[in-house]
Amino acid sequence: MKLDKQSIEQHNQGLTAKHQRALAFVSDDIPQVEDIIAKLEKFQIAIPSWALGTGGTRFGRFTGKGEPGSLEQKIEDVGLLHALNKSSGAISLHIPWDIPEDANKIKELAASHGLVFDAVNSNTFQDQPGQAYSYKFGSLHHVDPKVRKQAVDHNIDVINHGIALGSKALTVWLADGSSFPGQLNFREAFQNTLESLKEIYAHLPEDWKLFVEYKAFEPFFYSTTIGDWGQSLLLASKLGSKAYTLVDLGHHLPNANIEQIVSLLLMEGKLGGFHFNDSKYADDDLTAGSIKPYQLFLIFNELVDGMDARGIDHSSGLGWMIDASHNLKDPLVDLLQSVEAIKIAYAQALLVDRVALKQAQQANDVVRAQEILQHAFRTDVRSIVAEARLRQGAALNPVALFNELDVRGKLIAERGSQSVATGL
């Protein structure tokens, strides 16, 4: 299904008066509000193809209804999100869960929804039917060169799919690690990973990036071969200028200072992209901003500061992606909430008075520094984010319109209640 312009306009008309009041109230004290709105309009967050179905837990999967059963339907779903918020204009594909049979047709379909293809993701954390060697003991770090070669070849295959779709980046996340002391030689595992990544890197087109994702633990529980940003940065530095570190918010040990990590990676020109989600305990993959909105703001504060310091374009300089999936909410509504939370944090970060903050830091005025940050965080910017949407023809309240139009009900009528998304 596609949303028609008229239902969006009708929805907006009903909310206009209230919206204008809220916008006028908050804008009065923000001289640069037009600049913030312009930046918000440009800022797009890629939707992962694996988040459109109801995710599972280690204990089971409770499937939703009307889930997208094909790549075409997944693109249709992201198109719906983009029509509702005009902030989800890209899709990040996972291979082999979503292999396009006819890349040109898929590209055209995506373009008809106003979508482009963001980073492609390889998968060497599962065995696929007919695969010669198992990844049970890892992939790019494996002791057996035949397993490593199979994993390298898969990544090259993913790059080729991405080239056909117009992607410009490959994200590599490895489930390589060990669960028991003595299982692995750390140095050999790292060297094997580096050599494998070098072979993949050699196949990257000139205008592509390689994102090296890290994760502290899980699925292994003693060591992870790319376990933290230091190990990722080490690999990215050895690989070359097209390799970057990718930060997934859920891939840190509890209470890690992610904003400091982001700041230093940006300083070194090695922050490639982001996977947004939120968590209470570990890699919980919850809706962005649902547990720790202040942390999300502090991360964006460093992102804006660091990108401006290096003259990086906010919307295109880094890869912005959601990586979240759970099994309670409607996945489409969940993604709308995540995108909204990300844009709110970004808008608040744009509000920070950086000249005053610098002065406070130079004067060791701790109280003033906190006041400046928390003033921005406590400003209700929802109407500013909504205004950016309104100007692009999207809905003032995407979640409300999703419900008003009974989008899920219509998808169930089209696809049936048994349709299950491929992937997780």
Question: Which of 26, 342 has the CB closer to Mn ion?
Answer: 342
- Rounded least distance, CB 36 to Mn ion, Å: 28
- Rounded least distance, CB 245 to Mn ion, Å: 12
Question: Which of 275, 408 has the CB closer to Mn ion?
Answer: 275
Q: What is the dihedral of CA 420, 421, 422, 424, to 10 degrees?
A: -100
Chain-centroid distance of CA 44 in Å reads: 10
Report the C-alpha gap between 52 and 22 in whole angstroms. Answer: 32
Question: Which of 174, 336 has the CB closer to Mn ion?
Answer: 174
Question: Which of 285, 330 has the CB closer to Mn ion?
Answer: 285
Establish if 94 lies at the interface with Mn ion (CB under 5 A). Answer: no
CB 90 within 8 Å of CB 46: yes
Pairing of strands 177-178, 271-276: unpaired
Report the C-alpha gap between 110 and 154 in whole angstroms. Answer: 24
The stretch near Mn ion (CB under 5 A) out of 38-46, 67-75, 86-94, 315-323 is 315-323
The stretch near Mn ion (CB under 5 A) out of 80-88, 260-268, 281-289, 316-324 is 316-324
Residues 163-182 that bind Mn ion (CB under 5 A): none
DSSP annotation of 60 reads B
CB 352 within 8 Å of CB 340: no
- Rounded least distance, CB 173 to Mn ion, Å: 6
Report the C-alpha gap between 401 and 7 in whole angstroms. Answer: 9
CB 243 within 8 Å of CB 201: yes
Question: Which of 279, 383 has the CB closer to Mn ion?
Answer: 279
Question: Which of 141, 275 has the CB closer to Mn ion?
Answer: 275
User: Angle, nearest 10°, between helix axes 186-201 and 229-239?
Assistant: 50
Could you say which of 275, 314, 343, 415 contacts Mn ion (CB under 5 A)? 275
Q: State whether the Cα torsion 41-45-46-48 is positive or negative.
A: negative
In terms of Cα–Cα distance, which of 254, 345, 246, 251 is closest to 295? 345
Pairing of strands 243-248, 209-213: parallel
The stretch near Mn ion (CB under 5 A) out of 28-36, 107-115, 181-189, 267-275 is 267-275
Establish if 118 lies at the interface with Mn ion (CB under 5 A). Answer: no
Question: Which of 323, 340 has the CB closer to Mn ion?
Answer: 323
The stretch near Mn ion (CB under 5 A) out of 88-96, 97-105, 269-277, 340-348 is 269-277
In terms of phi and psi (left: phi > 0; alpha: psi -120 to 50; beta: otherwise), the region of 328 is alpha
Question: Which of 107, 275 has the CB closer to Mn ion?
Answer: 275
The stretch near Mn ion (CB under 5 A) out of 156-164, 275-283, 284-292, 351-359 is 275-283
- Rounded least distance, CB 160 to Mn ion, Å: 22
- Rounded least distance, CB 130 to Mn ion, Å: 26
CB 229 within 8 Å of CB 257: no
CB 176 within 8 Å of CB 138: yes
The stretch near Mn ion (CB under 5 A) out of 16-24, 131-139, 229-237, 323-331 is 323-331
Establish if 248 lies at the interface with Mn ion (CB under 5 A). Answer: yes
Residues 123-162 that bind Mn ion (CB under 5 A): none
Establish if 340 lies at the interface with Mn ion (CB under 5 A). Answer: no
Establish if 323 lies at the interface with Mn ion (CB under 5 A). Answer: yes
Burial label, 356 (beta-carbon count in 10 A; 0-12, 13-18, 19+): middle
Residues 29-58 that bind Mn ion (CB under 5 A): none
Which residue type, as a one-letter code, is found at position 6? Q
Residues at the site binding Mn ion, with contacts judged by CB under 5 A: 248, 275, 323
